[in-house]
Structure 1
């Protein structure tokens, strides 16, 4: 069973708050009973309650850190990148329940989006939004089409990966323009990929990895419902090169596009 950190934070906040608040109330209502040295458990609750509350609020409503576990978003994101995700970009949601309580904005074409995997909501995925509700998305011969129009792709070079990216050396590195959002993608000409056309229902989004021939995305399992959105990735705050055993300093502070 996967560890649900949001649930842990909610429970820790509730338990420490109840213990500390209950003791404060007891001292006011029955001062004789609560007289003397403060119990150790109350001391711990008083110390940890504000900390876990602040972490809960920041993580639930502002930003949340994520680690990139796969190469599906190469060359934009590498295995070992640690990113920050804007949690309020697509609406403010209650932790654990994931119920939207305040409408803020909606995903745009080209966004790098974190979402709960529709086939297993306990797992978080990260992909790029290529299709919005009502769009027709086509993918033929390594070319992306939106509502019948081919998305502009410009050849850059043969990809020369370093560190975690070396596995994709030799792939075609292309620049793609999604409604003004320019980003790089990787294509393996000799590797087959799923093809077809997909119509996106209302309240759903079509996502793809930038590493087009090595990404488990909407081409295989369908669209992402609005209820599964987590947030928009915007910043690399740390990157660890597992191959060379050190920090990839050149990636720190990268603004994601």
Structure 2
């Protein structure tokens, strides 16, 4: 009878279960193997990493961002490997009090709740960066359709937005985010004539670059210089869709607000349509690209473009 009781309380660990437990629930593979302290430590490390990266501000640099991905991926692989390897060694395993289906279910629910509360948006907020995929051509030629960009959500904690900044914003009455370039600051007077900017009574310097195609349409490419000296390329259609948006009468930008326009001037739903953007509506400044449809879209620094 004692032998039967011993057999009931001893059950080898299944490496496949340990693998999948670790794959989907950080540290749960270790708990399954009876290493509850190690499992908790691994879970805490996973939850702490975003705070470390947020404090060091690594994510706002391409190399730092890639390092974060590599470290996170390597740690996940190690956790899975550790759980699987340990399970293979446990041919004889004395079941712990928490090695029951209802304890396991409670742990899964607990970890799932933590991860739900601590979702990617929360982690991104802590790290101070957020990733965006570009779905339009409204900022070509500088930002291409399909580019994957990183925005620094803490860029304006210590300084104010400036001319030329590419920023992500979300209007208070909208559910979606947009991204355009700041061309006018609070108290500036701005006017648009034939798609060219006049800021505080002075026309921004523009120089013709070339004729080209954009989405099958003929466009002219120019280099534009803003009042602070920031230079960037813009497109204007030879045959625009809406002629009236090429000419905007002079307005004064309210305090704490900014005027944003797309670099693809005839194909952007910018401040000419949605109005000025309040500083509180700005979610971050675009700093670099980490992926795109072609290899040349990797690691483009947008802080000076």
TM above 0.5: yes
Q: 2:189 corresponds to which residue?
A: 136
Q: 1:205 corresponds to which residue?
A: 258
Structure 1 ranges of 4+ moved more than 2 A? 35-41, 43-58
Q: 1:45 corresponds to which residue?
A: 110
Is structure 2 residue 124 aligned with structure 1 residue 78? no
Determine the C-alpha separation between the residues in 2 that align with 1:83 and 1:214: 20
CA RMSD of aligned residues (A): 2.5
TM-score between both structures, scaled by the size of structure 2: 0.60
Whichever structure has more helix as a proportion of its residues is: 2
Structure 1 residues 52, 147: CA separation in 2 closer, same or farther (over 3 Å shift)? same
**Does the aligned pair in 1 maintain the 2:169–2:179 contact within 8 Å?**
yes
Determine the C-alpha separation between the residues in 2 that align with 1:125 and 1:235: 16
Within the candidate set 156, 161, 164, 1:110 is matched to: 164
Determine the C-alpha separation between the residues in 2 that align with 1:43 and 1:202: 50
Deviations 1:30-76 (A, max 9, x none): xxxxx644442324534884797484554114110001111110111
- Answer 1 or 2: higher relative contact order, Cα 8 Å, separation at least 6: 1
SS in 2 for 1:250: helix
**Does the aligned pair in 2 maintain the 1:171–1:186 contact within 8 Å?**
yes
Is structure 2 residue 233 aligned with structure 1 residue 184? yes
Query: Which stretches in structure 1 are left out of the alignment for 5+ residues?
Result: 1-23, 25-34, 92-103, 161-165, 241-247
Counterpart mapping for 1:9-158 below 5 A: 36-37=98-99, 38-43=103-108, 45-46=110-111, 49=114, 53=118, 55-61=120-126, 62-91=128-157, 104-120=158-174, 122-158=175-211
**Does the aligned pair in 1 maintain the 2:219–2:237 contact within 8 Å?**
yes
Determine the C-alpha separation between the residues in 2 that align with 1:189 and 1:148: 26
**Does the aligned pair in 2 maintain the 1:74–1:185 contact within 8 Å?**
yes
Counterpart mapping for 1:161-240 below 5 A: 166-167=214-215, 169-178=217-226, 179-191=228-240, 192-194=243-245, 195=247, 196-240=249-293
SS in 1 for 2:215: helix
Between Structure 1 and Structure 2, whose CA radius of gyration is higher?
2
**Does the aligned pair in 2 maintain the 1:118–1:224 contact within 8 Å?**
no
**Does the aligned pair in 1 maintain the 2:167–2:285 contact within 8 Å?**
yes
**Does the aligned pair in 2 maintain the 1:185–1:210 contact within 8 Å?**
yes
SS in 2 for 1:170: strand
Query: Which stretches in structure 2 are left out of the alignment for 5+ residues?
Result: 1-39, 41-96
Q: 2:78 corresponds to which residue?
A: none
Determine the C-alpha separation between the residues in 1 that align with 2:172 and 2:264: 20
